[in-house]
Chains A and B, each alone.
Chain A
Amino acid sequence: MAIAFLRTVILYFVIMAGLRLMGKRQIGELEPAELVLTMMISDLATVPMQDFGIPLLSGLIPILTLLALSMLLSQLSLKSLRFRALVCGTPTVLIDRGRICQAAMQKNRFTIDELLEELRGQGFSEISAVKFAILENSGQLSVLPWPQEQPAAVKHLHQVVPDDVALPTVLINDGRTLQKNLEKCGKDGEWLRGQLALRGLSSPGEVFLMTLTGTDTVACIAKEDSP
């Protein structure tokens, strides 16, 4: 038991350190701590599952240890910025005001081809269009273009538009009425029947999706006839 516990603690930190040294681009979308946890737990669970000669505790102790360590690291990361930077790393600027930071790219083992690929993936065919490109801790590249390359927003056109953006509430989901949502919107069954009748529908069972936005706009998609 003690050996399983101590080995897990050592392995956890060794793999964490290894992943941090490997750099961000190896990680993908998970943070280093999450990746270590996922990798180790999935592997640990299968060992006592397949080998009946190994006590179940040999699998459970490491898994519980990992979960506790992970919770502890998350809490420490919340409390200390320095610790968070140590565990998760810090974002790296790869393009700074249009200039490629070659040293940063080398440090993160990020090739120019990969940078161009990422930029193309985000709709930028030329580096000159990019003001900042930041390699995030998750391994993703955030791209901020120069102002003249940014798509025009309403404020750039000096127009005033009413604020009618609201979260739609689902009232009918695949033929099922969501009573709680209906009540939350201050509506009742009678109102719903009225809405259905307006669209030539007789029951919620005929509706695939019905939503209501805060401004009383109802969107309704009727179910298609199954082939």
Chain B
Amino acid sequence: MKAFLPPILLLAVILTAAAVNCRTMETLTCRWSDELEQVDALADAGDWELAGAGLEAGYRDWSKSQSYLHIVVRHEEVDGAEAMYRRAAAFAQTQELSEFRAELADLRSQLLLIAEMEQVNARNIL
């Protein structure tokens, strides 16, 4: 039985790491998405100052996980979300509501996509 241990342990470690990663990605992207939803509501209410500050805080939170994201997610997707954050910040400065809200919606769906890519379901596997 001893000989079975190394491969079974290795498979168990990979599976556990994969499950933890899936959970972490879900938690992170939900948090970022919630932050963006609050920013969206503030901008809709015309409070651009708080919306800009909220977006900046959200961007800082997102930036903290950059290394982790680059290790586990395709760089193309992470770079896409990064560009959307920057574009949203530019729209917040010029206070263009429709453009800003459209960009936030895109960013939220991009974050959802990143989380979805790591989820274990038949669609992803096949």
Contacts and interface: CB of A to CB of B under 8 A. Distances in A.
Interface in B15-29: 15, 17-19, 21-22
Contact of A64 (B14, B73, B74, B119): B14
Given A2-B120, A52-B75, A75 B17 contact: no
B4 A72 contact: yes
B70 interface: yes
A3 B6 contact: no
A71 B6 CA distance: 8
Interface residues of A, number: 26
B102 interface: no
B8 A72 contact: yes
A67 interface: yes
Interface stretch (A5-13, A106-114, A169-177): A5-13
Interface string B51-65: 000000000000000
B70 to A, nearest CB: 7
A2 B7 CA distance: 17
B1 to A, nearest CB: 9
Nearest to A6: B125
B45 interface: no
Chain A contact residues, majority secondary structure:
helix
A61 B15 CA distance: 10
Contact of B75 (A10, A55, A61, A67): A55
A6 B121 CA distance: 10
A2 B73 contact: no
A3 B8 contact: no
Given A1-B17, A1-B22, 14 more contacts: A1-B21, A1-B118, A2-B118, A3-B124, A5-B18, A53-B75, A55-B72, A58-B74, A64-B10, A65-B11, A67-B7, A68-B7, A72-B7, A72-B11
Interface of B: 3-4, 6-8, 10-11, 14-15, 17-19, 21-22, 70-76, 117-120, 124-125
8 contacts: A6-B120, A10-B125, A64-B10, A64-B14, A67-B10, A72-B8, A75-B4, A78-B3
